[in-house]
A and B are shown apart, each in its own frame.
Chain A
Amino acid sequence: MLNIVVITKTVVPIVSTVKVDERTGSLIREGVPTTLNPWDYAAIELALKLRDEYGGKIVAVSMAPPFAKDVLEDIIGMGVDEAVLVSDRAFAGSDTLATSYILAAAIRHVMPDFDIVLAGQEAADSLTSHVPAQVASFLSVPYLYYIINIVKVDLVNKIVNVERMLEDEDRIEEFKVKLPAVFSVYKKNVILPIKVSRKIEAKLNRKVKIITNRDLNLDQSRIGLAGSPTRVAKVVNYRYEPKSPLKIDKNCEEFARWLLDLIQEKLREKQ
């Protein structure tokens, strides 16, 4: 039996459409729908695989405004046992440190006897990868990033061997980890089917549990803006000037030769 927590995030699906109001510094979210962070699917997939093989329970935990309930119902539709939305006005404005502090407290609250906490490698909107390590720090457990596989599970002693991928070193490393532990799952494109009947059942029976700071009772100085060491000075939209390209008038062979010459020239410049 393994008790598994999956940390998930709700993000906007097409991040390249998001713009910021440069006067107020806030994101223009109007008309922008939200969805599950694409890299979280791999974490949920691994959790389901572990439960199939070793038994146990999976709880998804997400900190977000109330509108994220729908995404958590989707996650129940994917097969996780429970979903918990951590939501309170007092949590608004939290940076990654404050968020991790709140999530760690929520995990202790909903599954104090957890064995494994899984998360996606990063969130497609903010791209920080901070939360898994910081949650591990607050939970005082070991952690490892970029997991591709759990190769061995010793249920008696609660020890797992995990493989992780370091893409920038072209290297796979294996570690032996005593549970409980936190792992972030290497990013890959997977989509899990949502069983509609399960989702509807979750919606009708209000299966997504909502916990607030009344449940967690966290010190105000550790959460929200007060608990966040980072501050945003300003936000600006990436400036992009539309170009008017030089239209090339050559036949195919001439153009091919021109292009190859250009590539060779640029390759030589580098050396």
Chain B
Amino acid sequence: MVIRLNTGEAQREAMTVLVYVDYVPATRQPRQESLAIIDIARDIASKLGKEIEGVVINSVVVATKLRDMKMLPKVYNIRLKNIPEGTYIPTLFGEALVEFCKKKNIDVLLFPATQRCREIAPYVAARLDTGLVADVSDLYVDEKGEIIAVKPSFGENILAHIYIPDRKPKMFTVRASLKKKISSTYEACELVHEEVSIQDHSSIEYVKSAQVYDPDIEMLPERHDIVIGVGAGLSRDSIELVKAIAKKMGIGVGATKKITDRGILSSKFLIGESGKIIRPRVYIALGISGAPQHMTGIKDYELLIAVNIDERAPIVNYSTHFYKSDANELVRKIAELVLR
């Protein structure tokens, strides 16, 4: 596959921090995660005295929306010749970015850590023979002017501070906080159209897509600020009640491994090792003993309210509030109040 930008002579421009704007092809909406990393990009750019720009691939609709938001001073839309607007193909998106970075002298390339970006970014890094740090929780500039990425690993028990010397662009997929408000800060945003042509795209073709309808999706723990965690201290019936309560109240449900192993809840609800890492404001731990394999999945909470029959359970050490009780009894009581 060969891709060339039809924009004539490569020209050296000012050094740039580029934000890749991911979007949902089905709706042509920019992902919130994309917008949330703009502040981080702006901060890095101002510390390094660089410009900040955004890039959208293959969607005029998304690029126009982005222009109207004025969160960036300049946005590029790279149209893929012969590929319908809004169609996503990882290798083609990757190749388009590779050509763009080479041409525009990009110093830093930031992606939101969405699933599509986690798919494209490593390909781009390999093609450009540069470094990429995945799913970073923080970026800062050290006293030598080097960008340092904080990368949680080993169940986030270890924070590695990683940098990319002597290569361009320095690439990062960045985990953004969606809790912060985003504001537009530029008077205007310039939209620039570029086009790349693809000589051979027969190796991978988009066929179709479908929305997943799963009644449990709305309760997934990573989607909520308030999450009820269920552990082995709860009966199967109590867990059914917790699901009904969570659904009614619009909050999330998480589970320990014992619960997902028994098939009471699917592994999508598993929190901790080999499951999800979440950042709720409030975690309500019902019948959870507090094994490190579970607790490693709950980070940066404001309140952790534990309900357990055993006052010496390790969960106590993680809790801001502790209530000694059979959690089943409490669930029945809450169900009476909420579901009546």
A interface with B by C-beta (< 8 Å): 12, 14-20, 27, 38, 95-97, 100, 124-134, 136-138, 141-146, 161, 165-178, 181, 188-189, 228-238, 242-243, 245-248, 250, 252-253, 255-257, 259-260, 262-263, 266-267, 270
Give the interface size class of chain B: 35 or more
A144 touching B225, Cβ below 8 Å: no
Does B274 belong to the interface (CB within 8 Å)?
yes
Write out the residue numbers on chain B whose beta carbons fall within 8 Å of the beta carbon of A171.
24, 26, 209-212
A243 touching B122, Cβ below 8 Å: no
CA distance A166 to B161 in the complex (A): 29
Q: CB < 8 Å: which of B159, B207, B268, B318 contacts A236?
A: B159
A175 touching B156, Cβ below 8 Å: no
A250/B209 contact (C-beta < 8 A), A189-B260, A229-B130, A235-B161 known: no
B123 touching A243, Cβ below 8 Å: no
- What is the distance, in angstroms, from A96's C-beta to the closest C-beta of chain B? 7
Write out the residue numbers on chain B whose beta carbons fall within 8 Å of the beta carbon of A130.
122, 125, 132, 134
B116 touching A166, Cβ below 8 Å: yes
Write out the residue numbers on chain A whose beta carbons fall within 8 Å of the beta carbon of B132.
96-97, 130, 230
B interface with A by C-beta (< 8 Å): 24, 26, 89-91, 94, 114-116, 118-123, 125-127, 129-135, 142, 148, 152-167, 202-212, 214, 217, 225-226, 249-251, 260, 267-268, 270, 272-274, 281-282, 284, 292-293, 295-296, 303-306, 316-325, 329-330, 333-334, 337-338
A238 touching B157, Cβ below 8 Å: yes
Write out the residue numbers on chain A whose beta carbons fall within 8 Å of the beta carbon of B284.
259, 263
3 tightest A-B contacts by CB? A229-B131, A137-B126, A245-B319
CA distance A261 to B15 in the complex (A): 52
CA distance A144 to B209 in the complex (A): 14
CB-nearest residue of chain B to A234:
B161
Write out the residue numbers on chain A whose beta carbons fall within 8 Å of the beta carbon of B120.
133
A263 touching B226, Cβ below 8 Å: yes
Write out the residue numbers on chain B whose beta carbons fall within 8 Å of the beta carbon of A144.
90, 119, 204
